[in-house]
Chains A and B, each alone.
Chain A
Amino acid sequence: MELQTLTYLAVGLTFAIYIGIAVWARAGSTSDFYVAGGGVPPVLNGMATAADWMSAASFISMAGLISNMGYGGGLFLMGWTGGYVLMAMLLAPYLRKFGKFTVPSFVAERFYSNGASAVAVVCLLTMSITYIIGQMTGVGVTFARFLGVTNETGIYIGMAIVFAYAVFGGMKGITYTQVAQYVVLISAYTIPAIFISFQLTGNPIPQLGLGGSLTGQDITMLARLDQVVTDLGFGKYTTTTAGSTLNMFVYTISLMIGTAGLPHVIIRFFTVPTVAAARSSAGWALVFIALLYTTAPAVAAMARLNLLSTVNSAAKTGGDMYAEGTSLVHAERPDWMKRWETTGLLKWQDKNNDGRIQYYNDKTKNQAVLDKAAAAGWAGSELTVNADIIVLANPEIALLPNWVIALVAAGGVAAALSTAAGLLLAISSAFSHDLLKKIWMPSLSEKGELRAGKIAMACAIVVAGWLGLNPPGFAAGTVALAFGIAASSIFPVLMMGIFNKKMNKEGAIAGMVAGISITLFYVFAHKGLFFIKGTDFLGLIGGANSFFGITPEAFGTIGALTNFLVAYVVSKFTPECPEHIQHLVEDVRTPRGSKVIGGAH
């Protein structure tokens, strides 16, 4: 069958399944709508959390970035998994015992203040919207490539689909839909990786293939990759860090504590039956996440090697890549290159007019590489490959069968849509439950609350879609910014709420405000005010990455430190936390007496 027909079929079929499940499980009461009646088993909950968590950034964008960054890309791997350890040990069991629906309602009660809760809602909304912008961008790119429509149309289609099942299905729909989505996206990710690992190393397990030897050769995959990329003037694959070691360090911290502070992930742990289950649920979620995350570095390295050997026939055998006739003749390029050329994400420009594709790092400081290139008559690198196409193009580069390519398309769509839906739910509950019902309109009926939640979702979709048309960067970058925001605001307030029983409302509010403000200030300085292009103010902070060379994506760590520090100092100079709240915190620390969270609140 034609690739295009197969793609339509795969995407259409999986959509039908998700929507079918959402309709089948249409929610009834508010309790069902938000937390699926508190009765989702830990393993299934783990799978749904994994689908919720693994977004367009993980699925489409991450391996491409690692592929380009090499070793330094490991910060995404460690950062986006290490947060679950913090979640399991520091937050999930205590929040489950506390027995509240949402993060802001925890903040409201623990800090005996609607003001603190309102600040938490604002932080949560800022973070969630930023996150969804990234998802919508991912949805757009995926649809544009596989359905042959423009990026804009892709985003509009995505908005409509997310709206349909998030608004009509609620959490219960989403939980079971997301189990289905997990199955689709993990097969879409691992099946091509298994094929490619087997082709290259003879070992079908990608995690082992990455450390294996090349088929028929007496050299390991990574050693060959290191040699090829350094010969072409790129940084050595297994050692190049992401900026300075300090930047890599704080970037990883920011992603880890951001993960632990993600409201749409935390809300998952309210759906398990007991405190003990909340602890192991985080473990199950991580098992399912790690299945993709440990495959990603193999996908990254193998795609890089495959791409380089497609362009230069000497790459796979370790021959002289500057020798005559090794570069690919453009007229003989494989079909996948032609397909991606039409999207504009892969470009070729024949700088030396020899009709062949030369691909190397022409900005390298290594004079030997430049001399060799000049001697071979190369006049600059002629190929630009957008990092974000790597995962989607990966099966095509390896010349895998069409059904695998179609499956990857379905997986990409699943990844982007599932996270967007989970985030919309967090936005909806924060707005309707924590802001409207608790603060502005206490008399709101259950029905009215549900309706307000749905309206909030619809508005959030429109705003995110609109910003997604003109995003501050591609999926992974935008998403990393969202993590910085969560890291600087939500994680510290939850931590202090549990581990410092003397922390008072003044400290909590001041900490959140200080943390998120300084982070947004640094981010907006780089990316523009509210991510609107052209409104950046880098001059004011003394140039890009001026704070010890730390990038805006990594700045959440500094925001979190500020938050902790300000909160501590303010709490020392303001009235002490009331006695009954201190007792409440003591009670939260022990599992005994936990209740199943019901609909009444």
Chain B
Amino acid sequence: MDTSGKAYWHAVLKLIGVHLFIWALVSYGFGIVFAPALNNIHLGGYPLGFWFAHQGSMYIFIILIFVFAKLMGKLDEKFNVHEQ
């Protein structure tokens, strides 16, 4: 396995990319652009697009940060660049 700084940085960028894609999808996608279409579906008493804008995206943001922190920790160890 390539454990150079370059390979590590490449892996980091990939991880950031995946997380930012989800970040943008739930807020700008589901919360704004696709909201009118999603509003035809209901989550309890919430129209789904409205829910993403007023509730859902925030819950997903929190999950994203903790998952990202965890995966980055693993990545740091894998490439042996973690703090001692």
Contacts and interface: CB of A to CB of B under 8 A. Distances in A.
Nearest to A587: B5
Interface of A: 66, 71, 74-75, 77-78, 81-82, 84-85, 88-90, 93, 207-208, 210-213, 220-223, 238-239, 245, 248-249, 252-253, 274-276, 279-280, 282-283, 286-287, 290, 293-294, 297, 586, 589-594
A414 B80 CA distance: 44
A78 B53 contact: yes
B68 A279 contact: yes
Contacts of B76: 276, 590-592
A206 B12 CA distance: 38
Contact of B73 (A207, A276, A593): A276
**Most interface-central of A78, A220, A293, A592 (chain B CB within 10 A):** A78
Given A276-B76, A294-B55, 5 more contacts: A207-B55, A211-B46, A252-B32, A283-B69, A590-B8
B79 to A, nearest CB: 8
Interface residues of B, number: 45
Interface of B: 5, 8-9, 12, 16, 19-20, 23, 27-28, 31-33, 35-36, 39, 43-47, 50-51, 53-55, 57-59, 61-62, 64-66, 68-69, 72-73, 76, 79-84
The 7 nearest A-B residue pairs measured at CB: A220-B45, A74-B53, A283-B65, A279-B69, A297-B54, A590-B81, A211-B46
B56 to A, nearest CB: 10
A248 B46 contact: no
Nearest to A501: B9
Contacts of B20: 85, 89
B39 A239 contact: yes
A85 B61 contact: yes
A221 B59 contact: no
A82 B27 contact: yes
A89 B22 CA distance: 13
Contacts of B68: 88-89, 279
A560 to B, nearest CB: 15
A84 B82 contact: no
Contacts of B27: 78, 82, 252
B39 to A, nearest CB: 6
A486 B66 CA distance: 25
A90 B81 CA distance: 18
**Most interface-central of A82, A245, A252, A586 (chain B CB within 10 A):** A82
Contacts of A249: 28, 32-33
B83 A591 contact: yes
Contact of A290 (B12, B53, B58): B58
A213 B44 CA distance: 9
Nearest to A593: B83
Contacts of A212: 44-45
B28 A274 contact: no
Given A78-B31, A591-B82, A286 B61 contact: yes
Nearest to B66: A283
A85 B65 contact: yes
A88 B20 CA distance: 11
Contacts of B16: 89-90
A75 B35 CA distance: 13
A592 B39 contact: no
Nearest to A81: B58
